[in-house]
Structure 1
Amino acid sequence: MAAERYATPTLTVAATSGRRAGLILVGEVRAEVLRQLEEQLDAPPLSRADEWVVDMNKVTGIDLACVYALLQAAATRRPKTVTLTVRGARHAVRRTLHAAGLDVVAAIER
């Protein structure tokens, strides 16, 4: 099965309710988008949400720097606690998430 390719990685944030926010990642999530990812993680609606759902259905690859940004954002949000769920990550992407330790602070669903 050939891997899907997306011309440009994209990050989209959507508020699904006042307490829940979604982050949709698409394509190769690499160092080129790290700054944009960090800005999105600090900006509303993610900064106001208690629950984050990260959709990785269309992520073809992710580097450790971007995983660490997610990990840091979720783990250091004090005094507010964030519940983080990652959905739809491919096997290779899940391996990177686990290698970085994201599974310690997040539920990683297929």
Structure 2
Amino acid sequence: MTVQIPPEVTPFERPVEQVAFHRTELSQILSVYGRMVAAGEWRDYGISCLRDVAVFSVFRRTAEIPLYRIEKRPKLRNKQGMYSVIGANGQILRRGHDLGAVLRVLERKLIRAID
């Protein structure tokens, strides 16, 4: 008879790595989101923190596909920039190293001519 000892599980094990938005990044995103909600353009959002990417999705209505996705992919930090804004059809609208500069593509949607 063989006895198998279960692997030791310590209370200090690190959980599975996840990518998440930092507080300063979320404040920039929520600032743009708040202005768009006040203008009546957006109504709901969702945040997903996955192993490779963190996604902030923006919805016009709750039951739709997202209008825009703001993604953070740290693996692209040294290449094209880890922040990107992706449209509803999957087209990358802007990508870069600075979140504020990337979010400006969404602020242009807020500016309209007044008759």
Normalised to the residue count of structure 1, the TM-score between the two structures is: 0.27
Larger Rg, first or second structure (1 or 2): 2
Q: Which has the higher helix share?
A: 1
Q: Work out which structure has the larger RCO, using CA pairs closer than 8 Å and 6 or more positions apart in sequence.
A: 1
